[in-house]
């Protein structure tokens, strides 16, 4: 079993910034080789893919974002700490959602894993509210 614990998020004004961290623990696994995805669920809507960091080869990672968050959100990871980060800048009210990190053991060098059922473990979710 792998546990993912999220921290951060909160209430922020439009145009502001907030970050979320996601720490993995539990069974022995090579965190550096796993795809870490970020999803969000807005009020009354389905949970959707936001972006991911996925191992390609060696020390190379591919990072993906949906169009609406490109140039505003940054996904980074510290493999030594089994931690992945989601930094969100220039936030908009439509970014209001519960944000989830998730881990997938799927090897995906060519394209992002956007399907939720391909993720094995999930964080508890963290609320981000952007006021206008």
> What is the rounded distance in angstroms from the CA atom of residue 88 to the CA atom of residue 124?
19
**pLDDT over 80 (residue 40):** yes
* CB within 8 Å of 127: residues ≥ 6 apart: 9, 10, 97, 98, 99
pLDDT band, very low/low/confident/very high, at 26 (cuts 50, 70, 90): confident
> What is the rounded distance in angstroms from the CA atom of residue 24 to the CA atom of residue 82?
5
- In the DSSP assignment, the letter for residue 39 is E
Average pLDDT of the segment spanning 41-65 = 95
* CB within 8 Å of 55: residues ≥ 6 apart: 32, 33, 34, 35, 61, 107, 109
**pLDDT over 80 (residue 29):** no
> For residue range 66-101, what is the model confidence (pLDDT) as tens digits?
999 999 999 999 999 999 999 999 999 999 999 999
pLDDT higher for 109 or 112? 112
**pLDDT over 90 (residue 23):** yes
Q: Is 108 left (phi over 0), alpha (psi -120 to 50) or beta?
A: beta
**pLDDT over 90 (residue 64):** yes
> What is the rounded distance in angstroms from the CA atom of residue 132 to the CA atom of residue 128?
13
pLDDT higher for 60 or 124? 124
pLDDT recorded at residue 7: 98
Q: Is 120 helix (H, G, I), strand (E, B) or coil?
A: coil
- In the DSSP assignment, the letter for residue 104 is E
């Amino acid at each position: 079993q792998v546990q993912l614990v999220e921290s951060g998020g909160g209430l922020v004004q439009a145009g502001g910034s907030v970050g979320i961290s996601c720490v993995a623990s539990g069974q022995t696994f090579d965190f550096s080789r796993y795809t870490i995805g970020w999803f969000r669920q807005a009020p009354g809507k389905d949970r959707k893919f936001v972006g991911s960091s996925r191992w390609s080869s060696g020390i190379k990672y591919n990072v993906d974002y949906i169009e609406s968050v490109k140039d505003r959100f940054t996904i980074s990871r510290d493999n030594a700490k089994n931690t992945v980060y989601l930094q969100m800048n220039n936030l908009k009210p439509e970014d209001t959602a519960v944000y989830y990190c998730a881990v997938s053991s799927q090897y995906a060098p060519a394209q992002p894993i956007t399907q939720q059922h391909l993720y094995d473990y999930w964080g508890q979710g963290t609320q981000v509210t952007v006021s206008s």
